[in-house]
Structure 1
Amino acid sequence: MKQPIIDAHIHLDMYSEESRREIMQDLERYHIDGLISVSNHTASAQMNLKLARQDKRIKPAVGFHPEQELPDDHQLERIFKLIDEHKEEMVAIGEVGLPYYSRKKDPSLSLTPYIEMLERFIRLAVKLDKPIILHAIYEDANIACDLLEKHSVRKVHFHWFKSSPAMIRRLIENRYSISVTPDCLYEAEIQQLIEQYPLELMMVETDGPWPFEGEFKNERTHPKMIHESITKISEIKSLPLDEVYKQLYQNTVDFF
């Protein structure tokens, strides 16, 4: 049984033109109603905005991915200018956050300028009344939550979230949304998160073209994989599959 789904977090601009064309051709076949396509930087955002004009099922978000070298002042201002010029076309600020994996590779990397940049994006999300899509996991989620609470942000999406039980409780108390990738089929940590997190605060995503293991090993990441994720969520939650489909779909529509 397959019902309509929305991929709540995909980097559509990072696929090859051929792969994008195949994915878009597949959407109806696999009951995929929409793609929230997040941006990594200015060029990425410009491509996502262009793709969204070509197909209304693509919903662009504009931001700066934190797992890369910081933009200089000119580059950052270009991103903020782009957001201001296209605020009516975009559905969210994102992907933004903190460089957890970069700091694991280089512990000397200063977090301060990334925190300052994230706060600027948070303030802009509040000003424009847009949802914000976050890359902030483990201990970084605590810093992000401090900033979100400081600015009273309500529509918050922690994509592919991973953290401590205490941090999970904090997100739930704040009514922040999370999204689950196809790694829920084989990662015990994500399965435990699904068990704990309220279904009404959950979405599903691929983070494509990021590749997966398990049954998806060596397979190009495709939004159709979300159907397997939903089946797993239904199993973990001990809820009817039909109910889980409908709730996750409505969560995503309401959020964006």
Structure 2
Amino acid sequence: MFMDTHVHLNAEQYNEDLQEVITRALEADVKKMIVVGFDRPTIEKAMELIAQYDFLYAAIGWHPVDAVDCTDEDLRWIEELANHPKVVAIGETGLDYHWDKSPKEIQQEVFRKQIALAKRVKLPIVIHNRDATDDCVRILMEEHAEEVGGVMHSFSSSVEIAEVCIEKLNFIISLGGPVTFKNAKMPKKVATEIPLKYIMLETDAPYLTPHPFRGKRNEPSHIPLIAAEIARLKDITVEEVAKQTTENAYTLFYKIK
């Protein structure tokens, strides 16, 4: 079986056919999925979904792009919800310097607060990093995020950065659709060189659709395409990729049954 460790089934792109999307995922042996909420509306929808489906779990946090909108009341609410047995991680949080909605210093402050929150509730952290690798890794180290560990979501940095995250921060590397792109040298290099025991699978659906469906809406049933490319790069079987990456996810997200 596979696990999609990062999917936005709470996105409006699934409003018309969510049940069909979920059915296709299950038929593709994607038996568990972690729905990510990153602001008030998406967290509320994630909580509704995990109540409705046994095999869905939630990660909840505040996205760095919207850090300027995050209040201490929002963080207290997230901390309360984190006690739910099916909330398995804090995030996605982190830094995003690509968009300029939230000033860097505010992003960093909200990021630090969520690391502290994760440590209080003893849950791993889901990291969003875009154009901010040095600051992201530095803050994780300064705040001792290794105490709870976590995942570098949709990892696009170098093998060297991956090794730092694994060895010094107790983090795991998550790969999605970009590893299947023909010109994606970095994700392919990471998939090839990082040991499978430090890799997980995700779609980030409805975004980052893998080849050959690039440009269309992504969905969790595409996880086997990502696994197949990693298997090809490592010269192992898809079954080996499925088994190890799912074990890795169970270990990190220890609340998943």
1:149 to 110, 125, 141: 141
Aligned partners of 2:3 and 2:31 also within 8 Å: yes
Deviations along 1:68-103, one digit per CA (max 9) or x if unpaired, are 361153xx4124324314422311101111113214
Matched, 1:129 2:127: no
Asked whether the equivalents of residues 60 and 92 of structure 2 are also in contact (C-alpha less than 8 Å), the reply is yes
Q: Determine the C-alpha separation between the residues in 1 that align with 2:123 and 2:21.
A: 27
Structure 2: runs of 5+ lacking an equivalent: none
Pair 1:162-2:156 in alignment: yes
Aligned pairs (5 A) from 1:110-129: 110-129=103-122
> Given the alignment, which residue of 185, 190, 197 partners 2:180?
185
Q: Distance in 2 between matches of 1:147 and 1:55?
A: 35
1:176 counterpart = 2:163: no
TM-superposed CA distance for 1:243, in Å, is: 1.8
| Runs of 4+ off more than 6 Å | none
User: What residue ranges of structure 1 are gaps of 5+ in the alignment?
Assistant: none
How many Å separate the matches in 1 of 2:142 and 2:46? 30
Aligned-partner Cα distance in 2 for 1:248–1:72: 33
Give the CA deviation at 1:218: 4.0
Query: CA separation in 2, counterparts of 1:233 and 1:122?
Result: 30
Could you say which residue in structure 1 is the equivalent of 2:14?
Answer: 16
Distance apart, 1:67 and its partner CA: 2.3
Paired with 2:70 and 2:237, the residues of 1 have a C-alpha distance of 50
Shift of 1:173: 1.9
Partner of 2:223: 226
Once the two structures are superposed, the pairs formed by residues 210-249 of structure 1 within 5 Å of their partners are 210-212=207-209, 214-249=211-246
Partner of 2:225, secondary structure, is: helix
RMSD over aligned Cα atoms: 2.0
Aligned match of 2:44: 46
8 A contact 1:68–1:99 mirrored in 2: no
Percent identity (aligned): 24
DSSP 3-state at the match of 2:145 = coil
8 Å Cα contact 2:159/2:189 also seen in 1: no
Partners of 2:127 and 2:142 lie apart in 1 by 16
- TM-score, scaled to structure 1: 0.88
Question: For residue 40 of structure 1, what is the amino acid of its counterpart?
Answer: F
CA contact (8 A) 1:210 1:221 kept: yes
Displacement of 1:47: 0.8
CA displacement at 1:189 relative to structure 2: 2.1
